[in-house]
Every structure is written in structure tokens, then in C-alpha cells.
Amino acid sequence: MIISLLKKYKIGYRTFKTAVAVSLGITVAQLCNLDFFVSSAIITILCVQNSKRKSLHSAFARFVACMLAIPFSYVFFELIGYKPYAIGLLLLLFIPATVLLKVNEGVVTSTVIILHIYSAGNINMAVIENEFALIVIGIGAALLVNSYMPSLDKEMKTYQKKIEKDFQEMLQGMVEFLRTNEIAFDYKQKLTQTAKEVQIAKSLAYRDVENHFTRKENYYYKYFTIREKQLEIIEGLFAKVTTVSSLSEQRHSIADFLEELSLCVHPGNTAQLFLSKLERLEEEIRTQDLPQDWDLFAEQAQLYYVLKELEQYLKVKKSLKVAYN
């Protein structure tokens, strides 16, 4: 029974790191004979983040806020006294001060320090040293476990393959419609599903950027951003393609182009090759006689729009200049 329940709940990497960091922080604080040594756990938990950059930013904000809390406590408690309302008055000024310094992320942590000083009933060098040690140990334990982040490459490559497969299916769906006026799957559902996958993939890629202090962008983040833009174009393309029911010759020419394009959805950049083919296709259609019937003329205009959107689709992919490994 217990084993079956445990299988339903997966322990995440961040949860594991938090448990290790808390144990480490409390152990060190206890070995140092610090008062309120268990409170180091609160500081540690709040500093463990899902990326190195976020963890460092969180640690800095909490350290500054905690250091600010000590002189605030001294002024208010020594002037007003160690009374409950003194804490309220202190926070009325302390919280805006952290917001002004952009370290309000550390309000909860620094409140713990304030309450320690209040509980001690006085503030002297021993109390200050004790609180400083708790802050350093708590933050240090969090930064130590966060110094290693697992590679996200495997997950990002998995999503890359999923998204490319979805793109192939959607392009094939348009091919099918242009040739038969029918489509075998729910196109809107596929668009929604792919959009969710792209967002998850982008968040993973962003985390990967956040785990490297000198990196502002990486291949995968750029790649998924481009796929996101292309997905918007595909959505508009399908809306236009489904309005055309005649002009079989032009429809089949575009279907042939889309079919070839669907077979080349991969990380490599073949955009220039397909732009050249698209230009020839556009020229071929342009040289054909214009329909005399208004409805057919309107449909040909829609097909011309499709060509222009395909051009934009390829130009977006062409902008992917980051080297692929």
C-alpha cells in the first residue's frame, strides 16, 4: 500500500536538494552551538531555487535584507522597548525600505532575524554574531547544493523531437486538405497541444540559460522561440487554406511544396533552399491567367496569401543562426 502510494508521488530534484541543504545547514549551525540553530532551515529553504542565477539573486536579496533587519531592530527595540507593537512599527518602515532597495524577497527571512532579537530581549555583539552566523550558514548551504544543476539537454531534445513531429503532422494535414478537402485529425487540438509543448520547452531552455552566469541565450531557447513564431503562422495558414475549395491545379502545386517541406522539419536550416523553391512556385502561379469568376479570383488571392505566409515561415527559420550541436 505504502509503496503504491510512493510511486504516485515523484520526488523532484529541487525537493531532494532542499532536504539535503536543510540537514546540512542545521547540522553546521548546531555544531557551532548557535541559538535558534533550527531557523537556519528557513533561510536555506527560501534560498534553494530551480536555477543557479535565481539562487544567487535570492541569496543576495535575503542577505541584504537580514543585515538591514539588525540595525532596524536595534533602533526600534532599544528606543520603544521589546513590545509586540514595536515589531509592528518596525515592519511598517522596514518592508518599504526593502522594496526601495529591491530586496523585498528577503522580508520573510529577515523577519525571522527580527523575531530572534525580540525573543532574546536585548541586542549585543553576541546576538549579532549569532544571527550573522545563521544567515551565512543558511545561505551557504543553499548555494552549495545549488552549485550543481543537472543538464536539461536530454529533456530539451525530447521536446524538440515532439514539436518537429507535430509540425510535420500539421503540414501534412494541410497537404491532405488541399488534395481532398478533408483532414483526418482535429487540427485545432493539435495546435493547442503543440503550443503547450513549445511553452514548456521554452521554460526549460530559459532555466538552462539561468544556470549559466555568462550565457544570455542558448540554441534551444532561440530554436523554441522560432518554433513558437512559426506555429502562429501555421495557425493562420490553415485558416486560409480551408477557405479554398477550387483551383485544383494551384492547390496541388502548393500541396506538393508543403509535402516536401514537411519532410524537412528538423534542426538543420534548409530555409534558403525552400525560399528559392517557393519563389519559383510563386512565379509559376503568377504567370497563369487570372480567373474571370469573382469567387475563383478571391480564392486565388487567398492562395497568394498562403504563399506569402509560407515565405514568412521560412524567413523566421532562416534567422536561426546559433550553431547546432
Nearest alpha-carbon partner for 141 in 39, 237, 240, 225 = 39
Confidence label for 154 from pLDDT (cuts 50, 70 and 90): confident
Average pLDDT of the chain, as a whole number: 84
Average pLDDT score over residue span 163-171 = 93
Q: Which of 122, 147, 172 is the last residue of a domain?
A: 147
| Domain match, 71 and 200 both | no
Q: Is residue 243 part of a domain?
A: yes
Q: Which pLDDT does position 170 carry in this prediction?
A: 92
State which residues form the domain around 216: 152-319
192 and 141 within one domain: no
Q: Is-contact 44 63, C-beta < 8 A? A: no
170 shares its domain with 134: no
142 with 161, same domain: the answer is: no
Specify whether 71 is located in the same domain as 114.
yes
Place of cell 535584507: 65
Looking at the chain, the whole-number percentage of residues with pLDDT higher than 70 is 88
pLDDT of residue 164: 93
Residue 210 cell numbers, joined: 539561468
Confidence grade of residue 158 (pLDDT, cut at 50, 70, 90): very high
Q: What pLDDT is attached to residue 90?
A: 94
What is the H or E stretch that residue 156 is in? helix 153-180
Is residue 8 in a domain? no
Measured between alpha carbons, how far is 225 from 223 in angstroms, rounded to an integer? 5
* In-domain check, residue 4: no
Comparing 65 with 295, the larger pLDDT belongs to: 65
Query: Residue 100: its pLDDT value, please?
Result: 93
Rg (CA), the chain: 30
User: What's the whole-number mean pLDDT along residues 22-48?
Assistant: 89
Same domain, residue pair 169 and 223: yes
Average the pLDDT over 276-300 and give the result: 75
Check residue 323 and give its pLDDT.
43
Name which residue leads in pLDDT, 291 or 269.
269
In a domain, 140, yes or no: yes
Q: How many angstroms from the chain centroid is the CA of residue 158?
A: 16
- Cβ(238)–Cβ(187) below 8 Å: yes
The rounded distance, in Å, linking the Cα atoms of 189 and 155 is 23
Would 3 be classed as within a structural domain?
A: no
Count of the separate structural domains present in the chain = 2
Residue 143 lies in a domain: yes
Q: Is residue 253 domain-shared with residue 136, that is, in the same domain?
A: no
Please indicate, yes or no, whether the overall pTM of this predicted structure exceeds 0.75.
no
Domain end residue (candidates: 96, 118, 147):
147
Where a domain ends, among 147, 179, 213? 147
Shared-domain flag, residues 162 and 311: yes
Residues whose CB is less than 8 angstroms from the CB of residue 55 and which lie 6 or more positions away in sequence, other chains included: 47, 48, 49, 142, 143, 146
